[in-house]
Amino acid sequence: MTTRTETQAETGQAAGVDDLGWGLGALLRGYRRRVTDAIGDFPHGARGYQTMCAVVGGDHPSQLALARDLGIDKTVMTYLVDDLVEAGLVERRPNPADRRQRQVVATERGARAVAELCRRVDAAEDDLLGRLDGDERATLRRLLSKATGPAPGHTAEACALVTGESEEAGRPTE
Amino acid sequence: MTTRTETQAETGQAAGVDDLGWGLGALLRGYRRRVTDAIGDFPHGARGYQTMCAVVGGDHPSQLALARDLGIDKTVMTYLVDDLVEAGLVERRPNPADRRQRQVVATERGARAVAELCRRVDAAEDDLLGRLDGDERATLRRLLSKATGPAPGHTAEACALVTGESEEAGRPTE
DNA sequence: ACAAGATCGTATGCGACACAGACGATTGGT
DNA sequence: ACCAATCGTCTGTGTCGCATACGATCTTGT
């Protein structure tokens, strides 16, 4: 109920546009704005948070796999990871299986930061979907997941995984 | 059935991220790519098409209203409209009610172009939602519309409006 | 074993875009 | 008639996607 009117103000009322593209864009704009406000001065804003989520939640063998998963350019991923390393949130370690690849793993501090931000982002998502009831929110998430393809992994799951056993996130390989 | 595997290839399979933001981003990326491919060398790509849809479908009294509706910066809207004018697709006319505002109206040629592109974009959307059946697609559109707020106006409606009476789109005020 | 091609990470340049700030033109309130 | 606010435009800055290039490394063919 906090910022429910912002979506309407932001989108205006005359939306005689292509509804799928417009709806996706409008909802994503609202999402990014809320998440940006929620996480404060995290290294690269919403992108940095999403990257950290992917690092913690999924096992990506290389920076390139990470970039492709998030739809980020690989040249951007380079300095994005640079800044995350500088902030002490992740570490770059050469993949022993293929020394061309650099595996990105979260540090203890990074895992804790994600777990903390996860809660705020969940609240931001609830605010974003304020016009939908519980069933509708679940349906929307399910349809998005189905439309984009098989998406094994969840923020909620990654969150619980991190909060439950944070020391495992620090040493994934050995 | 044409490019159904692209979504999966683009998104990878390990999607252990924040599912709402990731799903919205992934779907919007697929949408933009397909629409960009579908419309060819339209002045500003998908943005130009969406702007034209808003010009034809909704009545926006000023460039600023147009920009806010689409989530575009007003300084970008300036040269975006410049290029649409140069391409002969729209006209800028001072709003008689408030001469600070410039009303953007579609030309005959612009209205026809939108009607033509509308069909291709519809096909692109169907391709994007290839994993969902008819009911699910309708539900997704409905939930998006409800979540973003009151969205009076549709591409389909604007399309029909344009194709049905294209000469009215050329002279909306008088 | 060696050469040729492919892949990954990084660096560089270019174009598009969001954002902030400023300015002239115009409007509305006092 | 003065003054604050709004709209459109211009300029500058920072971020990002995209293409290109290069070294390091892996893979494949011979």
More confident residue, A106 or B154: A106
d(CA B66, CA A52): 35
Average the pLDDT over A14-40 and give the result.
85
Question: Angle, nearest 10°, between helix axes A134-148 and B4-11?
Answer: 100
| Secondary structure (H, E, C), B6-40 | HHHHHHCCCCCCCHHHHHHHHHHHHHHHHHHHHHC
- On whether the CB atoms of residues A127 and A4 are closer than 8 A, the answer is yes
Residue B154 has pLDDT above 60, yes or no: no
Where does residue B133 rank: exposed (0-12), middle (13-18), buried (19+ CB within 10 A)? exposed
- Measured CA to C1', the nucleotide nearest B71 is C18
pLDDT digits (tens, 9 = 90+) for A73-92: 999 999 999 999 999 999 99
Q: What percent of chain B has pLDDT over 90?
A: 74
Q: Specify the DSSP element, H or E, that contains A102.
A: strand A98-106
CA-based nearest distance B41→chain A, Å: 19
CA-based nearest distance B44→chain A, Å: 15
pLDDT at B156: 44
Residue A52 has pLDDT above 90, yes or no: yes
pLDDT at B149: 81
B6 touches chain A (CB under 8 A): no
Average the pLDDT over B13-20 and give the result.
53
pLDDT at B58: 86
Residue A13 has pLDDT above 60, yes or no: no
* Predicted TM-score (pTM) of this structure: 0.83
Q: Which of A37-41, A136-140, B13-17, B144-148 has the lowest mean pLDDT?
A: B13-17
Protein B146 CA to nucleic acid C7 C1', in Å? Answer: 45
Average the pLDDT over B139-153 and give the result.
82
Cβ contacts (< 8 Å) between A72 and chain B: which residues?
Answer: none
Average the pLDDT over A106-125 and give the result.
95
- On whether the CB atoms of residues A7 and A128 are closer than 8 A, the answer is yes
Q: Which of A61-75, B79-93, B107-121, B144-158 has the lowest mean pLDDT?
A: B144-158
Dihedral sign, CA of B111, B116, B117, B122?
positive
pLDDT at A141: 95
List residues bridging with A103 in a β-sheet. Answer: A93
d(CA B136, CA B150): 20
> Which positions in strand C are less than 7 Å from the protein's CB atoms?
7-13, 16-21, 24-28
Domains parsed from chain B with CATH numbers: 44-170 (1.10.10.10)
- On whether the CB atoms of residues A114 and A170 are closer than 8 A, the answer is no
Residue B71 has pLDDT above 90, yes or no: yes
Task: Give, in degrees to the nearest 5, the angle at Cα A26 between A22 and A27.
Answer: 120
Protein B170 CA to nucleic acid D3 C1', in Å? Answer: 40
d(CA A74, CA A170): 24
Average the pLDDT over B67-91 and give the result.
97
Residue A172 has pLDDT above 70, yes or no: no
Average the pLDDT over B36-45 and give the result.
95
List residues bridging with A59 in a β-sheet. Answer: none
Q: Which of A78-82, A156-160, B98-102, B127-131 has the lowest mean pLDDT?
A: A156-160
Mean predicted lDDT score pLDDT of chain B: 82
Is any atom of nucleic acid chain D found less than 7 Å from the CB of residue B166?
no
pLDDT at A4: 38
pLDDT at B19: 84
Residue A157 has pLDDT above 70, yes or no: no
pLDDT at A32: 95
Q: Which of A7-21, B3-17, B95-109 has the lowest mean pLDDT?
A: B3-17
Instruction: For strands A98-106 and B90-94, give the pairing.
Output: unpaired
Nearest CB among B12, B60, B146 relative to A131 is that of: B146
pLDDT at B173: 34
